[in-house]
Structure 1
Amino acid sequence: MRARVVRNHDLVRVPWKNGGGTTAEVAAFPEGSTFETFGWRISMADVASDGPFSLFPGIDRTLIVVEGDGIELDVEGIAYLLDEASPKLSFSGDDITTGRLLSGPIRDLNVMTRRGQFRHRTRFVESGVALLAEETAVAFLVPLDGLFDVTLDSTIHSLQALDTLMLDATQDLILLSGSGRAILIEITPDPI
């Protein structure tokens, strides 16, 4: 099984689609794709001020607050509070969305998949074992709170907070050890 670690400190910042800030792309498919051509994209954004989100027609999104006190998202006129107790929201990239910071800047993890090509699922995991869904094509593990060791095929991958482990699909158990939580992202082909 192939696995690759992407260190948080190595991420390169690029402008948001709407020019209102920057994001750090963790991975995208196909490699070298643009905002208009990706099938899936994983990124981290630093949000320092209130404002509109970029529109991504045809894209399903999940946003997870990974640092900071939180943000209130207004999605098509409905308010959603994302904070430590409830840090995650899935919504359509077609929807007009604005953000209002609760108390200072945040960092968020964004997962985006193009409808008709891919779907995604995100879940929080802790020390123990994880098993990917059978249809998973590629997966990502992002520790939130500290050090995390991931054992795959007897190889240990040591991750710090907000590093990302990208791994090919496997039906083997993934052994996780560390303190705190991590986010497991699974990308699957869209059967449409």
Structure 2
Amino acid sequence: MKIVRAGECKTTAWKNGGGSTTEIAAAPAGASLDNFDWRVSMARVASDGPFSEFAGIDRTLAVVNGSALSLTIGKAAPIVLDRHSDPISFAGDTATSARLAAGEITDLNVMTRRGRFTHRLLRIRESRQCDFDDHDIALVLACCGKLELTFLQESVTLIEGDAAILTPAGNAAFQVAPELPADGCVVLLRECRSQAG
């Protein structure tokens, strides 16, 4: 279990001044925005505007703090996301823009390079046991408040912005227990493997 404390994460302001991004974890180590296999980050969105395009990248986004965000993906009708919405997935190379409903928000953003990794993003609003479900990596994030994570008889407390990175050990599951009204997210990552024959 690798723990990533919020204070260890690097925050970078956007060039357009519309917000900032805090990288929680990415692979391979030291990867840039041009060559990562997967990346998990949180963004503070302070103004309306287009998303950066990422060719060959699949994305999932969830609002974790603030009011709401209206997302327009390609030519589809706008979708409104708030802290209670399910995460939404879309292609990083599809033109996407966001409009704030009432002040800035913070979102969780998961990106994987198509053909290298796939991912799932799950919201955790109550205590539950989670399985890896044939994934190679699980990242547990405290989005708001405090949660307790237990894996292989080891327990750790994660506070807002902290994360833990887990890799499977046999059939062992992990337990995530938010201290209500806290909530968290679990990101499951699977490496794409070549099919024989």
TM-score (norm 2): 0.88
Q: What secondary structure does 1:43 align onto?
A: strand
CA distance in 1, matches of 2:114, 2:15: 19
1:178 aligns with 2:167: no
CA distance in 2, matches of 1:59, 1:147: 31
1:19-30 to 2 correspondences below 5 Å: 21-30=19-28
Unmatched 5+ residue regions in structure 1? none
Unmatched 5+ residue regions in structure 2? none
> Which position in structure 1 is the counterpart of 2:113?
114
Q: What secondary structure does 2:7 align onto?
A: helix
CA distance in 2, matches of 1:13, 1:20: 14
| Contact 1:17/1:54, CA 8 A, preserved across alignment | no
TM-score (norm 1): 0.91
CA distance in 2, matches of 1:61, 1:128: 25
The total of aligned residue pairs comes to 189
Q: Which runs of 4+ in 1 moved over 3 A?
A: 15-21
- Alignment CA distance shift 1:76-1:122 (3 Å): same
| Contact 2:67/2:102, CA 8 A, preserved across alignment | yes
1:119-134 to 2 correspondences below 5 Å: 119-125=118-124, 126-134=126-134
Letter in 2 for 1:130: C
CA distance in 2, matches of 1:8, 1:61: 22
| Contact 2:119/2:187, CA 8 A, preserved across alignment | yes
The Cα shift of 1:179 comes to 2.5
| Contact 1:70/1:102, CA 8 A, preserved across alignment | yes
Calculate percent identity across the aligned residue pairs: 38
> Which position in structure 2 is the counterpart of 1:188?
190
Letter in 2 for 1:154: Q
CA distance in 1, matches of 2:38, 2:179: 29
| Contact 2:18/2:45, CA 8 A, preserved across alignment | no
